[in-house]
Amino acid sequence: MKLTINARFTLNNGVKMPVLGLGTWEATGHKGKQAVLWALEAGYRLVDTAAIYGNEREVGEAIRESSILREDIFITTKLWPSEMGYESGLEAFEASRRRLGFECVDLYLIHWPGEDRGRRLEAWRALEKLLADGRCRAIGVSNFFVQELREILDRGGTAPAVNQVSFSPFKQQREVHAFCESRGIRLEGYSPLTRGRRLDDTTIRSIAKSYRKTPGQIMLRWAIQKGVIVIPKSVHRERIIENADIFGFVISDADMAVLNKLDEESSGPWSSHSAPA
């Protein structure tokens, strides 16, 4: 498949999800709304939010105010662990849907697995109900280990379409990624730019120079060439545009192999930085 800004990966239920999206953690108020408008103007068609971000209302307003048709935009939001359970999960979804102002959400995720297996599985049952009712087009999880993914799969019901995790050349989630690929679960990467912490890495900078690209563009291109959906977060117009300019070149197999070697062993699917994403 040729990767362009309009490219979409097909999820395990046939729904097509854009390969590039805008992350909106900490992008609240007018700043967050404006970031979404800039992203849509730049060609993004995936916007990722969550109840805990406190910006679902602004995301919905920006989408309605844009010139882009709602059916062309893919909206993701998430269920926070304190709302996990069957009835509470359904109620939380309805609250998110009202804040967004749309009848249907494209992807609804359990934001974190939490520590209560029973509540987690009841929450998944709620997501299956939402999917069956047509209130969302796809369901998935975020920050899940292989063991927690197995718990859902072993029930024999709907498999997650997506597992959203922290993902970058320095945190490659090899075990989780391999398991998801083997089960038809698409990996989606948040913090693909390491929140700016590793943009000065000498290897990244050297490869970026050879392609006449920025370090951030190399990191994003590396991820989508590995089949991972990326949702870089920014509230700056120039950076939003820069992050979208990753489709006019291809990283060679040799350079991909060099980037693959940057992986630093990780203990779990989420970022070591203490923040919801």
Write the CATH number for 64.
Answer: 3.20.20.100
Domain span at residue 84 reads 8-197+228-236
Tally of domains within the chain: 1
Instruction: Give whole-number Cα distances, 9 to 47, 72, 192, in Å.
Output: 15, 14, 18
What residues are labeled active site? 53
Q: Is 220 within the bounds of a domain?
A: no
Q: Is the pLDDT of residue 94 over 90?
A: yes
Q: Is the pLDDT of residue 252 over 90?
A: yes
- Other Cβ atoms less than 10 A from the Cβ of 70: the count is 15
- Residue-wise pLDDT for 173-209, tens only, equals 999 999 999 999 999 999 999 999 999 999 999 999 9
- Residue-wise pLDDT for 10-68, tens only, equals 999 999 999 999 999 999 999 999 999 999 999 999 999 999 999 999 999 999 999 99
The DSSP annotation for 70-136 comes to GGG-EEEEEE-GGG-SHHHHHHHHHHHHHHHT-S-EEEEEE----S-HHHHHHHHHHHHHHHHTTSE
Q: Is 82 within the bounds of a domain?
A: yes
CA–CA separation, 270 and 198 (whole Å): 17
Q: Is 67 within the bounds of a domain?
A: yes
Cβ within 8 Å of residue 255, ≥6 positions away: 207, 210
Q: Is 61 within the bounds of a domain?
A: yes
Tell me the average pLDDT across 135-147: 98
Q: Is 184 within the bounds of a domain?
A: yes
Q: Which of 98, 94, 100, 103 is nearest to 64 (CA)?
A: 100
Q: What is the mean pLDDT of the chain?
A: 95
CA–CA separation, 243 and 246 (whole Å): 7
Which is higher by pLDDT, 24 or 270? 24
CA–CA separation, 56 and 62 (whole Å): 10
- Residue-wise pLDDT for 164-175, tens only, equals 999 999 999 999
Question: Where residue 2 falls among pLDDT bands split at 50, 70, 90?
Answer: confident
Which is higher by pLDDT, 103 or 265? 103
Q: Is 258 within the bounds of a domain?
A: no
Tokens 């971000």 correspond to what residue? 53
Q: Is 268 within the bounds of a domain?
A: no
Amino acid occupying residue 101: G
Q: Is 83 within the bounds of a domain?
A: yes
